[in-house]
Amino acid sequence: MVLKLFNTLTRKKQPFQPADGKRVRMYVCGPTVYNYIHIGNARTFLTFDVLKRYLRYKGHEVLHVQNITDVGHLTEDDLAEDKLIRKAKEENVSPLQIAGHYTEAYFRDIERLRIERAAVNPKATEHIDGMVRAIEELIRRGHAYEVNGSVYFDVGSYPEYGKLSRLPQEQLLAGARVEAREEKRAPMDFALWKRAEAGHAMRWPSPWGEGYPGWHIECSVMSAQYLGVPFDLHGGGKDLIFPHHENEIAQAEGQFGKEFARFWLHSEFLLVNGEKMSKSKGNFFTAKEVMDRFTPEATRFFLISAHYRTELNLTDEGLAAARNTVERLQEFIVRLRSVKGTKQGSEMMKLIASAEKGFAEEMDDDLNISAALSHVFDFMREANALIQAGEVSEEDASAVLDFLKRLDSVLCVMRFESEQLPAELQALIDEREASRKRKDFSAADQLREELRKRGIILDDTPQGPRWKRG
């Protein structure tokens, strides 16, 4: 089966193959490092983590590049101040310190969410030379012009402008408002390079005097540098379609005279009380605080279990339900490990084959993960019934564990390493089991209570006692 992905550029689900038939070259817009990532940012980063892992599940290699925006992302108010500079002023430190601190925090957070790091994480401040060269090339090709030390992209020189966002003229104009400077030739033109006013904290020399790059040019330059043009897939949250990605396309296609990226994928927003969660609005929960309350696996599961192109509302109930599901999966793993039967010829192999087929068919349909997961949960119910009926051999159980590992190479919410209890606690469990067998139930109950106080919950099953941390 071929994976189909919804391409924002064509507004269609299209069969996806990497251009070279093997390795997928993918660029995802990374965080602007002036604050901790919030749980909405995490949703977008997870969308692309699941996509990357699913591409591998299907046998592709993936070269993933994800930038760190540490300069040039302006606030959306009239002052249009750099987000990092504003935060640095508030905290009375340098913009570089702000970037360093929040970049580290970002890596810590994604690691806990089991998001695999990109192969390359280019920082904008380390690629200023490449941006200057790209801007020079745009001027040379007649797509950009300089005024008073700033350089603007001439939107009129690129007739395909608007092809990604497909916005009507008025909205394209409204989006250019942030850039409203008298000196632009046309209102829709946007800045590639900005002159640094006196006292501006971040500045680099350039052929047009000291200044700093615009946010859009960072991504088109860094993606082209590490992936080549055209590359296979460019992604980000839906808010980046316009102006960020529209402008990236104009710049890159203007600079190289050919297609920039083949597929554009955008994930929907995470909402809180029906509104987009955002750092600038302040209505956000950090990824860290949600993980601390509900565990990283539950947080991850909650965020990936809804289709990436549907809005998702953050609620405690949703997170608690996700935690519950992750626990059920974990209990299933423990139960499988304790299967000791030898009976041959069970239904299990057929169940595995049909669940795996169902999972892959749904994922192939533009990562329809909620439907893919329903195959997994149906499978779990049927497999549990077979175990209950004593119909499952140790060999079957180990085939199920292999299947779960394959699924988890995409989902990443399960744990397969079995935890060894400290000997002293294991001894209490053994002693209780011995009391139970002697029918000394009051001793058995006392031991169970003792274990509970130490955070170990026991569950008696036909296969013997099982423990979990409570």
| CA of residue 96 relative to chain centroid, distance | 25
Instruction: With CB under 6 A as the rule, give the number of residues binding ligand AMP.
Output: 17
Q: Quick one: which segment of 177-185, 234-242, 435-443, 454-462 binds ligand AMP (CB under 6 A)?
A: 234-242
Q: Quick one: which segment of 180-188, 205-213, 268-276, 411-419 binds ligand AMP (CB under 6 A)?
A: 268-276
Q: Which is nearer to ligand AMP, 108 or 337 (CB)?
A: 108
Residue 219 found at the interface with Zn ion (CB under 5 A): yes
DSSP H helical ranges for 389-465: 394-411, 423-437, 441-453
Q: Which is nearer to Zn ion, 27 or 54 (CB)?
A: 27
Q: 31 touches which of Zn ion, ligand AMP, none (CB within 5 to 8 A by kind)?
A: ligand AMP
Residue 32 found at the interface with ligand AMP (CB under 6 A): yes
Minimum distance, C-beta of residue 219 to ligand AMP, in the bound complex (Å): 10
Q: Quick one: which segment of 70-78, 217-225, 267-275, 367-375 binds Zn ion (CB under 5 A)?
A: 217-225
Yes or no: say if 380 and 328 are a contact pair by the CB < 8 Å rule.
yes
The correct pick among 164, 270, 291, 333 for binding ligand AMP (CB under 6 A) is: 270
The correct pick among 7, 41, 67, 220 for binding ligand AMP (CB under 6 A) is: 41
What is the sign of the dihedral through the CA atoms of 328, 306, 109 and 35?
Answer: negative
Beta-strand relationship, 464-469 and 456-461 = antiparallel
Minimum distance, C-beta of residue 236 to ligand AMP, in the bound complex (Å): 4
Residue nearest to ligand AMP (CB): 237
Comparing CA positions, the residue from 18, 50, 189, 31 lying closest to residue 116 is 50
Q: Which is nearer to ligand AMP, 278 or 338 (CB)?
A: 278
State residue 119 phi and psi, 5-degree precision. -65, -35
Residue 202 found at the interface with ligand AMP (CB under 6 A): no
Q: Which is nearer to Zn ion, 221 or 351 (CB)?
A: 221
Q: 219 touches which of ligand AMP, Zn ion, none (CB within 5 to 8 A by kind)?
A: Zn ion
Does residue 40 sit in helix, strand or coil?
helix
Q: 243 touches which of Zn ion, ligand AMP, none (CB within 5 to 8 A by kind)?
A: none
Residue 118 found at the interface with Zn ion (CB under 5 A): no
Half-sphere exposure of 80 (CA within 13 A, CB side): 12
Spatial separation of the C-alpha atoms in residues 344 and 300, rounded to whole Å: 37
Residue 361 found at the interface with ligand AMP (CB under 6 A): no
The correct pick among 18, 40, 162, 254 for binding ligand AMP (CB under 6 A) is: 40
Minimum distance, C-beta of residue 342 to Zn ion, in the bound complex (Å): 57
Both ends of the chain: CA-CA distance in Å? 42
Residue 239 found at the interface with ligand AMP (CB under 6 A): yes
The number of beta carbons lying within 10 Å of the beta carbon of residue 247 is: 25
Does residue 106 sit in helix, strand or coil?
helix
The correct pick among 9, 24, 28, 29 for binding Zn ion (CB under 5 A) is: 29
Burial readout 8-47 (b: 16 or more C-beta within 10 A, e: otherwise): bbeeeebebebeeeeebbbbbbbbbbbbbbbbbbbbbbbb
Minimum distance, C-beta of residue 228 to ligand AMP, in the bound complex (Å): 22
CA distance readout (Å), 94 to 5, 69, 75, 101, 119: 42, 16, 18, 11, 28
Residue 249 found at the interface with Zn ion (CB under 5 A): no
Residue 29 found at the interface with ligand AMP (CB under 6 A): yes
The number of beta carbons lying within 10 Å of the beta carbon of residue 293 is: 14
Yes or no: say if 83 and 74 are a contact pair by the CB < 8 Å rule.
yes
Q: 301 touches which of ligand AMP, Zn ion, none (CB within 5 to 8 A by kind)?
A: none
Minimum distance, C-beta of residue 219 to Zn ion, in the bound complex (Å): 3
Spatial separation of the C-alpha atoms in residues 423 and 254, rounded to whole Å: 67
Burial readout 94-111 (b: 16 or more C-beta within 10 A, e: otherwise): ebeebbebbbebbeebbe
Contact set with Zn ion (CB under 5 A): 29, 219
Contact set with ligand AMP (CB under 6 A): 29, 31-32, 40-41, 43-44, 236-237, 239-240, 269-270, 276-279
